[in-house]
């Protein structure tokens, strides 16, 4: 395992680049996101399709690189989920994620990046998201203790 400082610096740079990309692409504007997700309204905004397409190209390139590497530079192994990990909880969680994204126009990454804009709805969204994560963790711990 490497020293924590290089890992933190890489995470900081990657997070800053990700946040900048989200802001530059328009993903921090919930009205634009909802306009993209609302295909049947007659006022569909396809502009974010290019953002998703770009993300897909980057992800496919990264996965091709991962397959050629024996191990990551700053960790002992890659942490890639296996197809066996697709279960009922993952499907339900994904559906809940999509529902929340479509209703609010935010998902976690853009919401955290949008905190820098200081809008109250963003702050409330992130607070609710953190509360939901905390509640989930508490229920999961209770459920695990019962097993």
**pLDDT digits (tens), the chain, 147 positions:** 556 888 899 989 999 999 899 899 998 998 898 888 888 888 888 889 999 999 999 999 999 999 999 998 888 888 887 878 788 888 998 998 888 888 888 888 899 999 988 889 999 999 999 999 999 999 989 988 988
* 30-37 vs 48-68: helix crossing angle, rounded to 10: 90
Q: How far apart are CA 31 and CA 54, in angstroms?
A: 21
How far is residue 134 from each of residues 93, 131, 138, measured CA to CA in Å?
A: 15, 5, 6
Side-chain-side CA neighbours of 90 within 13 Å: the count stands at 7
């Amino acid at each position: 395992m490497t020293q924590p400082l290089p890992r933190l610096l890489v995470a900081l740079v990657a997070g800053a680049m990700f946040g900048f990309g989200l802001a530059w692409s328009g993903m921090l504007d919930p009205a634009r996101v909802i306009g993209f997700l609302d295909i049947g309204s007659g006022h569909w905004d396809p502009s974010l399709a290019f953002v998703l397409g770009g993300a897909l190209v980057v992800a496919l390139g990264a996965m091709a690189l991962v397959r050629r590497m024996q191990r990551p530079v700053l960790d002992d192994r890659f942490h890639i989920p296996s197809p066996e990990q697709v279960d009922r909880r993952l499907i339900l969680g994904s559906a809940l994620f999509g529902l929340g994204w479509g209703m609010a126009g935010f998902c976690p990454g853009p919401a955290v990046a949008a905190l820098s804009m200081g809008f109250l709805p963003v702050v409330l969204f992130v607070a609710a998201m953190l509360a939901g994560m905390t509640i989930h963790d508490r229920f999961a711990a209770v459920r695990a203790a019962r097993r």
